[in-house]
Amino acid sequence: MCNKDFLKEVLAGEKKLFELKEVQFVNIPLYDELSVVNLWPMVQEAGDLMMYFPRKLPKGRLPDREYFFNVLNTLNHEYVDRVVQHANEMRNTAADQGQ
């Protein structure tokens, strides 16, 4: 996720990075509803989360999926759990209806 512009922002104190030991790593299922494309617009309003992402991304680009979910999980573990649980419930409900 780090590029030179983002590193300049970090060194200037405008943005932050976690120490590796602080990161709460998470493995998110590869569901369409759990894509960065779907969740990025919703989380951009969270100021604390945006401190860990570059101010500007190249046009048409989104944060790396693994980086995005690890930052989100580190800052708000309960939210990530609820989102994954909801996605699993929706998939199980659809599978039950299909049978």
Range of the domain at 10: 4-98
Return the ∠ at Cα 37 (arms to 31 and 39), rounded to 5°. Answer: 80
pTM given for the model = 0.86
pLDDT in tens, 39-64: 999 888 887 899 999 988 888 899 99
Rounded Cα distance, 97 and 33, in Å: 19
Where residue 11 falls among pLDDT bands split at 50, 70, 90? very high
Residue ranges with strand state E in the chain: none
pLDDT of residue 91: 86
Rounded Cα distance, 8 and 92, in Å: 45
Q: How many domains does the chain have?
A: 1
Question: In percent, how much of the chain has pLDDT > 70?
Answer: 92
Rounded Cα distance, 3 and 76, in Å: 25
Q: Is the pLDDT of residue 99 over 60?
A: no
